[in-house]
Structure 1
Amino acid sequence: MKKHNFSAGPCILPQEVFQQASEAVLDFNGTGLSILEISHRSKEFVAVMKEARALALDLLGLSGKGYHAVFLQGGASMEFLRVPYNLMTVNGKAAYLDTGTWASGAIKEAKAFGDTVVVASSKPENYNHIPKSFEIPTDADYFHCTSNNTIYGTQMRQFPETNVPLVCDMSSDIFSRTLDFSKFDLIYAGAQKNMGPAGTTLVVIKEGLLNKTGRSIPNILNYQQHIDKESMYNTPPVFAVYTSLLTLKWLQNLGGIPAIEKVNEAKAALLYNEIDRNPLFKGTAATEDRSKMNATFLLENEAHAALFDNLWKNAGISGLNGHRSVGGYRASMYNALPLESVQVLVDAMKELERIA
């Protein structure tokens, strides 16, 4: 039976990427060596890293616009620390928007470096919406936000106009929709949603942003070191970077972000229309802030849970359970999830309505 993977992450990747990556595990580009054992200093892998960094910028529309792309380790959680280390000045200030668990984690790390101002928070409402009315201090070293919230199913539709550097954690929706990415001074994203397997993080940094803090930064945490060493300051996660390159090439061949955005819009519309139409279900996120990557919803009557769970599991669906802080269900519809899989879920929801 075909599996339909709605896991929030690590998540589904294109089948052709799995095939190419598996072949490289046995023999990478005819070298007679596995991608798992090839030297990261070899000309073959140096070419992979160079192409991955360049393609990431190209897909984001940032090529030739004064940005650097680096692939690092430690996940987005490491960037919670690295961002204030590299951007918050000694005795400085940073502004944060609190929209969920991961935003809260970033705020916690920043507080160790200086005055961390939370400009707005939706925590009192269990993060079911994106705050709209807030002011960013003009003397802040940067403003940090999280574009998509996997746990609570919310997504920022608009980003504030501000004169301070704009930093965004795009871990769960990068490469999924068209944006003017040149508005951002620093973007970071764990690979394991729309880009590759867990193990690497893409960081995109605008030139001129760094070396202004007045603090001494350990080399491994210093963005400038990683830029200067072209993501080779220490041994990079070779397989994760290579698989990310394959996924970015898959996206490029589809037509880039504009093409996948149309698919993502169709998937989200199909599922949210059923959530709103079907009297047995209800969404958990404010309608205007619903995520196109992670749809969160509940049963109106928990007595139907066992029956519905059997329906979607028997249909080959995997990874649909909601996060414990929200409950219910969470359908993660990342780039590689086909529209067919969403239709299978919708059919299961309709079947529950018919037999319940």
Structure 2
Amino acid sequence: MKRAYNFNAGPTALPLAVLERAQKELTNFNNTGMSVMELSHRSKDYEDVHNRAKDLLKELMNIPDSYEVLFIQGGASLQFSMVPMNFLQSDKTAYYIETGAWSEKAIKEAKLFGKTNVIASSKEQNHNHIPKDYSLDHTAEDGAYLHITTNNTIFGTQWQDYPNSPIPLFADMSSDIMCKEIDVEKFSLIYAGAQKNLGPSGITVVIIKKDLLEQTPDNIPTMLKYNIHAKNNSLYNTPPTFAIYMLSLVLEWVKEQGGVKAIEETNRKKADFIYDAIDNSNGFYKGHAQEDSRSLMNITFTLRDEEITKKFLAEAKEKGFVGLGGHRSVGGCRASAYNSVPLESCTALASFMDEFRKANS
């Protein structure tokens, strides 16, 4: 069976090699006579999988020993609450830069726990860029943390350079973690739902400075304390064992590709093919994101009207392209070219876009 050209915004494509290995090991993992899904989370066989995933993440992202890697359930949406619950003290302010729907949700949750301040926003321009005109100098006076969303799936924008923050910098990297090399030490906390670049849904990776764990207050529920997860190696309760197993396989695949540097090189090629099809279309396709804010992961564009857009999507579906419909906030189309989306899928899409333009101009 031919594989679909999967451009879903998430959950999205997984490497075929990973799926085939999981299929092979599904009923008999490591000669246990059991699936990973059947193993005790306290067993040596599962413990090896769990720790392998942590070690690979540390290796591939160059995470220093001064950070803890946690596996938490609830998706990035739970992190919107856990972050202020753990770190927004009553005499402090949480600062946010608003760049899309997910940062808006994070701000909404933070307001439930304390004082927040949005110091920059792209909302008035329908989030078509990453704001640059803001000052962080005043945040040192009372700032608990500065929160950013590094990539915006709906609008197709991405931070190219991160703020030099005088207060701890927190980042939701759910849709672009490991798409390019970063300096982890610029951040005090990074979190990411797995279902875009790391594996299937069900697990959230949290990378957190160990000294932050000392700030966790006593008066919040046990399962919502970062230090509890850290003290128990993310095994305080039964973790999503199969999702973590799949995470470990995806990380092994990234290592086999040559690491994050090689993944970034491929991602840039993938994005270039599609952006070139937009830029060379004489306005037939119009990108939503400003050029200096364009995302490697989510490429958003519109056509001249709803009728031609529907025709584009219908013909694309006939040719095996999946997930190209744009979000209602932007309309048009969106191609999500996450790490596991093959280069061939992106070249095929660019070719289809050229063919469709020529046939419908």
- Which bracket does the TM-score occupy, shorter chain normalised? over 0.9
> Equivalent residue for 1:281?
285
Instruction: Please tell me whether residue 17 in structure 1 is matched to residue 18 in structure 2.
Output: yes
Instruction: Render the CA deviation track for 1:41-81: whole Å, top value 9, x for unaligned.
Output: 111111111111121111111143x1110111000000001
Cα shift at 1:338: 1.1
> Equivalent residue for 1:257?
260
Instruction: Render the CA deviation track for 1:71-107: whole Å, top value 9, x for unaligned.
Output: 1100000000111111111332110111111101111
Question: Of the candidates 200, 224, 233, which is equivalent to residue 203 of structure 2?
Answer: 200
Instruction: Please tell me whether residue 318 in structure 1 is matched to residue 322 in structure 2.
Output: yes
Cα contact 2:88–2:94 (8 A) shared by 1: yes
> Equivalent residue for 1:211?
214
Q: After the TM superposition, which of the residue ranges 283-292 and 298-307 deviates more from structure 2?
A: 298-307
Identity, % of aligned positions: 46
What SS is found at the alignment partner of 2:253?
helix
Partners of 1:289 and 1:225 lie apart in 2 by: 37
Instruction: Please tell me whether residue 300 in structure 1 is matched to residue 308 in structure 2.
Output: no
Q: 1:1-356 to 2 correspondence within 5 Å?
A: 1-64=2-65, 66-136=66-136, 137-138=139-140, 139-212=142-215, 216-279=219-282, 280-356=284-360
Q: 2:36 is aligned with what amino acid?
A: I
Cα shift at 1:311: 2.6
Q: 2:48 is aligned with what amino acid?
A: A
Cα shift at 1:314: 2.0
Question: How many matched pairs?
Answer: 355
Q: 1:31 is aligned with what amino acid?
A: T
Cα contact 1:86–1:211 (8 A) shared by 2: no
Q: After the TM superposition, which of the residue ranges 299-308 and 186-195 deviates more from structure 2?
A: 299-308
Query: 5+ unaligned residues in a row in structure 1: which ranges?
Result: none
Partners of 1:86 and 1:36 lie apart in 2 by: 31
Cα contact 2:216–2:225 (8 A) shared by 1: no
Instruction: Render the CA deviation track for 1:279-325: whole Å, top value 9, x for unaligned.
Output: 31110111110101000000024332243223311221111101111
Cα contact 2:87–2:144 (8 A) shared by 1: yes
Partners of 2:294 and 2:175 lie apart in 1 by: 14
What SS is found at the alignment partner of 1:292?
coil
Q: 2:82 is aligned with what amino acid?
A: R
CA RMSD in angstroms, aligned pairs only: 1.2
TM-score by length of 2: 0.96
Partners of 2:247 and 2:257 lie apart in 1 by: 15
Query: 5+ unaligned residues in a row in structure 2: which ranges?
Result: none
Cα shift at 1:214: 5.1
Cα shift at 1:354: 2.0
What SS is found at the alignment partner of 2:335?
strand
Cα shift at 1:257: 0.5
Cα contact 1:69–1:202 (8 A) shared by 2: yes
Partners of 1:303 and 1:214 lie apart in 2 by: 55
Q: 2:159 is aligned with what amino acid?
A: M
What SS is found at the alignment partner of 1:36?
helix
What SS is found at the alignment partner of 1:336?
coil
Cα shift at 1:264: 0.3
What SS is found at the alignment partner of 2:286?
strand
TM-score by length of 1: 0.97
Cα contact 1:13–1:336 (8 A) shared by 2: yes
What SS is found at the alignment partner of 1:134?
coil
Cα contact 2:192–2:204 (8 A) shared by 1: yes
Cα shift at 1:213: 5.8
Cα shift at 1:350: 1.2
Q: 1:218 is aligned with what amino acid?
A: P
Q: Quick one: structure 1 residues 214 and 335, their matched pair in 2 at CA, closer, same or farther if it must change by over 3 Å?
A: closer
Instruction: Render the CA deviation track for 1:188-215: whole Å, top value 9, x for unaligned.
Output: 0000000000000000011111233655
Cα shift at 1:26: 1.2
Cα contact 1:54–1:63 (8 A) shared by 2: no
